């Protein structure tokens, strides 16, 4: 699972295996170790709700995915879902979950065998 954070936006990308695990277990977690602690990030099925949600507690960022969205995402060709979550003071946190695609241009610097085939195949 990859995470990308920029300003007030968080994007998760899941490989085929991770998406299959999420569909089966309703939870996937990964972590990054630092000298003074570990940052965890997870995606978790949310039984109720209509929109993506998120929390940051301790050193863990969790993205919550409502059951209906999880089912559509894991059982169809739908690439992803997004939502602007209100965080107060007229600010929002942009949340995005998506399937991780193989690169279609540039040098491949990582094993992409578990990524989804890019739907366009060309730039």
112 inside domain? no
**Which string of DSSP letters, residue by residue, matches 21-83?**
HHHHHSEEEEEEEETTEEEEEEEEEESS-SS-EEEEETTEEEEEEEHHHHHHHHHSS--EEEE
> What domain range includes position 11?
2-99
**Number of domain units in the chain:** 1
30 inside domain? yes
117 inside domain? no
Q: What is the pLDDT of residues 101-122, one digit of tens each?
A: 556 555 566 656 555 555 666 5
What residues contact residue 42 under an 8 Å CB cut-off, 6+ apart? 27, 28, 29, 30, 60, 61, 62, 63
Write down the pLDDT at residue 123.
43
> Where residue 15 falls among pLDDT bands split at 50, 70, 90?
confident
Q: What is the pLDDT of residues 80-95, one digit of tens each?
A: 899 999 999 999 999 9
89 inside domain? yes
35 inside domain? yes
106 inside domain? no
For residue 45, which of 20, 70, 24, 62 has the smallest C-alpha distance? 70
pTM given for the model = 0.83
Write down the pLDDT at residue 106.
53
């Amino acid at each position: 699972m990859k995470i990308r954070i920029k300003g007030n936006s968080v994007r998760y990308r899941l490989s085929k295996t991770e998406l299959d695990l999420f569909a089966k277990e309703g939870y996937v977690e990964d972590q990054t170790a630092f000298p003074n602690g570990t940052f965890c990030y997870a995606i978790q099925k949310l039984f109720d709700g209509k929109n993506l949600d998120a929390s940051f507690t301790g050193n863990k960022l969790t993205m919550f995915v409502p059951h209906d969205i999880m089912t559509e995402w894991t059982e169809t060709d739908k690439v992803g879902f997004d939502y602007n979550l209100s965080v107060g003071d007229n600010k929002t946190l942009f949340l995005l979950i998506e399937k991780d695609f193989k690169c279609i241009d540039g040098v491949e610097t990582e094993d992409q065998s578990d990524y989804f085939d890019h739907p366009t195949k060309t730039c």
